[in-house]
């Protein structure tokens, strides 16, 4: 094998009730990463960045999320001297709240691992992926990286030890994600957050998280809908998203189970009990953004259960 091409999906993190500990993958958008051997040189090199990353992302390995993730994996395997070229084809916008940096990191480690004959499991690649994404936002957390890497809905019991678990996905669950043309960097979105939480709000948030997980295990979509209330983060971050209250109202009035901010924003997601409803809800959310003079893109998807997929190898 001389070349591997993979697709790494976008993700919705936090999922309203699980700040930094919940996330799920969607089918699109996402990034494509190519890894190939280069016998004419030593070490890892990023040779090409296209799409939304063209002229925006650094090609220096130690400054790029995909580069750092792949480099740390190679060092761990004692293969840092191998000549390997990476291509990063960005298919999603920056500062979107859809895990762009996480997708690049997850895709890079899978591509390089596969190129080397898959010496490590997907779960073992998580640590190196998180190290890569840390370059982008300065924080060590796996709520985007984990679902992009392995798919599904993931719960991170501990980011420090990367104690990660996949949760059941209820039948018929679909998501509408609307990305408004507003850019919010994760660092900026974290800067608006208070360092303390009122006890009453913490109790409400813990109850919602517990019932959300219960709803997943019992296939109880009405309970899931009652659980999707963010008492802590959404009230602080929604000010960064023009028209958010109207967008959420549009989603809920059309029958969404719940609606909140995807990751650090500005993307907004709504969970629904069918693909048809998700399409209608998503259109309503777009109309609400348009009413505020904000254009947007709509993605409707089931929960992506596979994570990074191998597109080709040769």
Catalytic-labelled residue, pool 32, 87, 133, 234: 133
Could you confirm whether 186 is annotated as catalytic?
A: yes
Return the pLDDT at 123.
Answer: 94
104 annotated ligand-binding residue: no
Q: Is 209 annotated as a binding residue?
A: no
Is 99 assigned to a binding site? Answer: yes
CA 84, distance to chain mean position in Å, is 26
Residues near 260 by beta carbon (within 8 Å), at least 6 away in sequence: 14, 15, 16, 228, 230, 234, 248, 268, 269
First to last CA, the chain: 5
What residue ranges define each of the domains in the chain, with the CATH number in brackets?
3-167+304-313 (3.30.230.10), 174-302 (3.30.70.890)
Binding site annotation covers 152?
no
pLDDT at residue number 240: 93
Q: What is the pLDDT, as a whole number, of residue 168?
A: 97
93 is an annotated ligand-binding site residue: yes
**What confidence tens digit (pLDDT) does each residue in 68-127 have?**
999 999 999 999 999 999 999 999 887 899 999 999 999 999 999 999 999 999 999 999
Specify whether 198 is catalytic: no
Q: Which of 11, 65, 154, 186 is catalytic?
A: 186
Give the separation between CA 303 and CA 175, rounded to whole angstroms: 7
In this predicted structure, the answer to whether residue 189 has a pLDDT above a threshold of 90 is no
The 3-state DSSP class for residue 94 equals coil
Q: What is the pLDDT of residues 197-244, one digit of tens each?
A: 999 999 999 999 999 999 999 999 999 999 999 999 999 999 999 999
pLDDT per residue as tens digits for the range 9-63: 999 999 999 999 999 999 999 999 999 999 999 999 999 999 986 678 999 999 9
- Was 95 annotated as part of a binding site? yes
């Amino acid at each position: 094998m001389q070349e591997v091409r993979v697709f790494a999906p976008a993700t919705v993190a936090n999922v309203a009730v699980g700040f930094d500990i919940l996330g799920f993958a969607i089918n699109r958008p996402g990034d494509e990463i190519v890894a190939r051997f280069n016998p004419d040189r030593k070490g890892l090199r990023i040779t090409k960045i296209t799409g939304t990353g063209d002229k925006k992302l650094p090609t220096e390995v130690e400054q790029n999320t995909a580069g750092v993730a792949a480099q740390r994996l190679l060092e761990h395997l004692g293969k840092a001297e191998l000549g390997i070229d990476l291509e990063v084809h960005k298919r999603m916008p920056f500062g979107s709240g859809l895990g762009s940096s996480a997708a690049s990191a997850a895709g890079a480690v899978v591509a390089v691992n596969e190129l080397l004959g898959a010496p490590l499991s997907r779960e073992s690649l998580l640590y190196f992926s998180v190290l890569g994404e840390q370059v982008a936002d300065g924080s060590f957390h796996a709520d985007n990286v984990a679902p992009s890497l392995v798919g599904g809905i993931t719960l991170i019991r501990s980011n420090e030890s990367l104690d990660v678990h996949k949760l059941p996905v209820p039948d018929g669950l679909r998501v509408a994600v609307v990305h408004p043309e507003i850019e919010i960097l994760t660092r900026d979105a974290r800067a608006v957050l208070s360092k303390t939480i009122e006890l009453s709000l913490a109790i409400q948030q813990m109850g919602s998280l517990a019932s959300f997980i219960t709803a997943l295990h019992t296939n109880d979509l009405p309970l899931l809908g009652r659980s999707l209330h963010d008492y802590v983060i959404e009230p602080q971050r929604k000010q960064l998203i023009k028209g958010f209250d109207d967008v959420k109202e549009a989603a809920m009035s059309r029958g969404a189970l719940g609606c909140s901010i995807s990751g650090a924003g500005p993307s907004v997601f709504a969970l629904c009990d069918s693909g048809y409803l998700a399409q209608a809800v998503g259109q309503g959310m777009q109309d609400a953004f348009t009413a505020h003079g904000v254009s947007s893109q709509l993605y409707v998807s089931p929960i992506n259960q596979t994570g990074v997929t191998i597109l080709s190898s040769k």
